[in-house]
Each structure stands twice: as structure tokens, then as C-alpha cells.
Structure 1
Amino acid sequence: MIVYEYPFNERIRTLLRLEDLYEKFSFFLHQEHALQHHVALSTIFEMLEVAGRADLKSDLLQELERQKQTLLGYKSNPNVQIEALNAILAELDRTSAALMAAQGKTGQNVRDNEWLMSIRGRTIIPGGACEFDLPSYYAWQQRSPQQRFDDIANWFAPLTPLFDALNLVLRLLRDSGSTVKLIATAGSYQQMLQGKQYQMLRLTLDATLGAIPEISANKYMLWVRFTSQGGDMKPKSFEDDVPFDLTLCNF
């Protein structure tokens, strides 16, 4: 099964982009080759570009607090599993406290490092990080995999509270929706949303169908058009019926 996600607003779009970058960073950080560590470091620079919004930290803190207050309201409900509720409340408190304790602008420690900024300036140029452009960086790449790992992990460490908060918010958002089974007749599906605000939709379908969803949505209407790829990779309309699961998520 393949899960496709579609954000309804710019805030969720930013969080999903940062989550995607974090997954790439984590993968390449835990590899051993110097070229893989180069990708991990370059991904930190991309994170700083996306997370450059000054209000991202405050947005996450407000959302964590809002989720906490919402969940506290369930404490009096006799049908709630109190241990599970207390566990998520404790996680919200820990994540909020760590994010609040993070000082300065996101990634300021990287921006204050002239050596890292010189690398960042070269990596935006195609082929700009060659050994003759950055001999000191080339020398660093010759260090042991563990040394490079430790350096990159230390440079990323101040960003950890932000990404912990981001991952928690997205996890709560994904868990907020209820899933329904639908069929796109002749590869097309429309649904009126009647002005109701959603944050994100999740669409799950069988990978063996070869169908690819193109999603368009706003607060009034959702439209999914399925396509397929031929040998030339160009999309073409998918004419068969497509069964899929749809989850509309909203805090």
C-alpha cells in the first residue's frame, strides 16, 4: 500500500517538507561514506531554508499547548484509557519544554559557523564543493566515519527540539482523522467539503494498481484524478475504477 498526503494550507506544507528533509538527513547521517555525509550536511542547509520562518517555533508551541488543553478535557471521560492519555500528555509537556528552552533563531549555531557557511555558499553552486574549491572541507571528508557522524550530529543537535515537536504535531494530526473506503469511478473522484476546514488528507491505495493520484482540494471541494505512467514516464488518464482509502485530518 502507498500513502499519499496532501496539505490544505501552507503551515502543514512546511511541516511536511521539513519532515521529508529530516527523513533524508537521518538516513544519510547513519551511512559511512563521505559522499553520504555530504548529503546529510547539505540537507541541514536545506532545513534552514525551509525553517527560516520566524514564527515556526511559536506556531508549534501554540499547537502543542492547544493539543494539551484538548486532551485534558478527556480526563473526565470514563471511556478513555487514562494511562495512554497521561503518556501523551507527558510527551506533550516534555516536547514543549525542550522547544521552549531552545535559544535563538532556528539553526543559529550553523549560521554562526563561518566554516559551515562557506560550505553552504558553495553547495548552492552546481559542482561548487569540489576539493579545489573547498580544500578544508575535502580534508574533513577524509576523517573517519565516526568523526564525521559526531560532527554532523553536534551541528544538528540544537535543531532536535524543533523536529521532535514537528513530528509530534504531525503524528497527532494523522491520528485525528477517520478513514473511509471509496472508489474513484473511471479514475476520478469528487467530494464536496461544504466549507469545512481540514489540515491534511491521506490517501491510501494498492501499489499494484499502478494508479497515481493527482489531488486538488480546498475547503469547498476535493477532487482526485488518477493517472498512470507509461514507458516514457508521461502521465496518462487512468480509465479503470480505483478503490482507495481516504482520511481527512483536522485538529
Structure 2
Amino acid sequence: MTIGLPGLPITYEFPLHERIRTWLRLEDLFDKVQYFISVDSARAHHAALLSLFELAEVTARPELKSELIQELDRQKAGLESLRHNQAVDQGRLDTVLSEIASNLSDLHAISGKVGQHLRENDWLSGIKSRSSLPGGVCGFDVPCYQHWLHQSWVSRASDLNEWLAPMLAIRNAVTQVLRILRDSGHASRHTAAAGAFQLMLGGRTAHLVRVEVDDSVPCAPEISANKYAINIRFVQPEKTQKPRPCDLDVSFSLTLCNL
């Protein structure tokens, strides 16, 4: 019996390059920050601040900005060559090129290290140092932070958005690069016999592998890859022990994405 018939899909993404791994982490953190800021709750805003601290750590990579600029420049050059291609929607092309130009301008405008404004804020640095301790931000430890959490939602959200704003150029660039990456792939259907599947690359390269599985499937994919092949092994999650191999035939969608 093959499982994985049409239903609500779960998409699993597996980066095969360190840059892609970092960009996916940033995308996830930016989504969390903006979600928690939108929630009218002191606890949600505490979660938003913790995610901001994580963003400051990830964006501290010195090569982050230069890698994004390099990739956007490369995409811009490739798209410019399509200017007179009649098979290309020129209106859509102009829109994408305009977005790239705007994101490049914003990246070049960043001065100093990304997230440095958070690291130089003594009040935030004190909260960050306490947050690394279990239960370290209780009211008796940081009463000024407790006072801030009791301010109005509008006031707290304004502060959080102010601290987030200097990093939005990175968010916008990451969003565009990942959109281009995901749009580069074409999905194909496969079946993992007894939970195992191998695809020989035959000279192809991939920066990101996307595996889409129906949510009724009691298995999750694990992936390993080299320059010759991609191996997918489906495992059944266990709540008290290590996942065990899935012995079912699993139908899934596979997309190889490449910049």
C-alpha cells in the first residue's frame, strides 16, 4: 500500500549549502519576530525580543551582507540578459529587477555590522545576558524590564519595531533570494519504496531540496546528499525514543532548487 495521497501537504526543506542554511534561519526568525510583535500580549513581546536577540547572533556573520549583495548582483545580471526575450513577461521582469535594485541599495546603505544597534544598547544587552539563564528574566532580576512589559501594547510594539527596523534590509534581501531559489525548481512525483528513495544527480546541482508529503503520512523525511546523489529516508517520529525507519511505501513530491 502506498500512502501520501492528495491532502494537506507538509513541505520539508533541506539546504545543501551553508549560505542557504543561514538564509532559511533568518527567514524563520524574521517571521517569528513579526508574528510575536503583532500579538497583544506581554509574553508574545517577550518572545519577540528573544527572537530579536537570535537575529542579532545570526546576522553577526561578517560575510552575510556581502553574500547577499553578490547573489543579488548575479541574479540581476542574469535577468538583464532577458530584456529582449519575447518569451519573457517584460512587465514582471521589470518588477523583479526593480525589487533587486531597491534591495541592493538598502544593503549598501547599511553601515557597520548588522544588528550592532542591539549589541550597543546597554539595557537590551542586560536583558540578553539574563535571558541566557533559566528563568533569568523574572521581575525580581530585571524590574525595569518588568516595567516595560507592563506598558501598553502600542508602546511595546513601537519599541520592538524600532529595534527591528535596521535589519529589515537583510529581511527583504533574504526574502527575495529565497523566492528566486524556490521558484527555480520543478516538482516531480516519486514513491519511496519501504520508506527509502535515491535520486542520482547525473551532473545536476542543487542548493535546496524540497520534499512535500501529505499530512496524513505518519513519517517525516531525513535527507543526505553529495555531488552524486540525494538519499531520502522516511522515519516515524517517536515521542519517547529515537525515530524508527518507516517501512511503508510513501508517495511524495520532490523539488530541486538551484540559484
Q: If the length of structure 1 is used for normalisation, what is the TM-score?
A: 0.96
Q: Are residues 1:39 and 2:54 paired?
A: no
Letter in structure 1 aligned against 2:227: K
1: CA distance between counterparts of 2:10 and 2:68? 28
TM-aligned CA deviation for residue 35 of structure 1: 1.1
Alpha-carbon distance change, 120 to 230 in structure 1, aligned in 2, over 3 angstroms = closer
Structure 1 unaligned residues grouped into runs of 5+: none
- Aligned equivalents of 1:219, 1:196: Cα separation in 2: 8
Q: Is 1:128 aligned to residue 131 of structure 2?
A: no
Question: Which residue matches 2:6?
Answer: none
Compute the RMSD of aligned alpha carbons.
1.2
Give the counterpart of 1:87 among 95, 102, 106.
95
Are 2:223 and 2:232, in contact at CA under 8 Å, matched by a contact in 1? Answer: yes
Paired with 1:231 and 1:113, the residues of 2 have a C-alpha distance of: 41
1:203 aligns with 2:211: yes
Q: Distance in 2 between matches of 1:40 and 1:123?
A: 13
Which of structures 1 and 2 has the larger relative contact order (alpha carbons within 8 angstroms, sep 6+)?
2
Q: Quick check: 2:56–2:116 contact (8 Å CA) kept in 1?
A: no
Q: Which residue of 2 aligns with 1:240?
A: 248
Q: How much has 1:197 moved relative to structure 2? A: 2.7
State the Cα distance separating 1:173 from its structure 2 match.
0.3
- Cα deviation, residue 52, structure 1: 1.2
**Which residue of 135, 145, 156 maps to 2:164?**
156
Aligned-pair distance for 1:132? Answer: 1.1
**Aligned partners of 1:13 and 1:219: how far apart in 2?**
17
Name the structure 2 match of 1:77: 85
- The share of aligned pairs that are identical, in percent, is 43
1:3-42 Cα deviation digits (max 9, x unpaired): 0000001111111111111111111111111111011001
Structure 1 residue 175 corresponds to structure 2 residue 187: no
Q: Which letter maps to 1:247?
A: T
Instruction: Give the distance between the partners of 2:160 and 2:25, measured in 1 at CA.
Output: 20
Task: State the alpha-carbon separation in 1 of the partners of residues 231 and 212 from structure 2.
Answer: 15
User: In structure 2, what is the equivalent of residue 25 of structure 1?
Assistant: 33
Measured in 1, the distance between the counterparts of 2:62 and 2:209 equals: 26
**Runs of 4+ deviating beyond 2 Å:** 194-197, 229-234
Matching residue of 1:97: 105
Q: What's 1:51 paired with?
A: 59
Q: Which residue of 1 aligns with 2:174?
A: 166
Inter-partner Cα distance in structure 2 for 1:5 and 1:201: 6
Distance 1:184 1:4 in 2: 15
Q: Which moved more, 1:37-46 or 1:206-215?
A: 206-215
Contact 2:214 2:252 (8 Å CA) reproduced: yes
Residue 229 of structure 1, CA deviation = 2.9
1:192 aligns with 2:200: yes
1:108 aligns with 2:116: yes
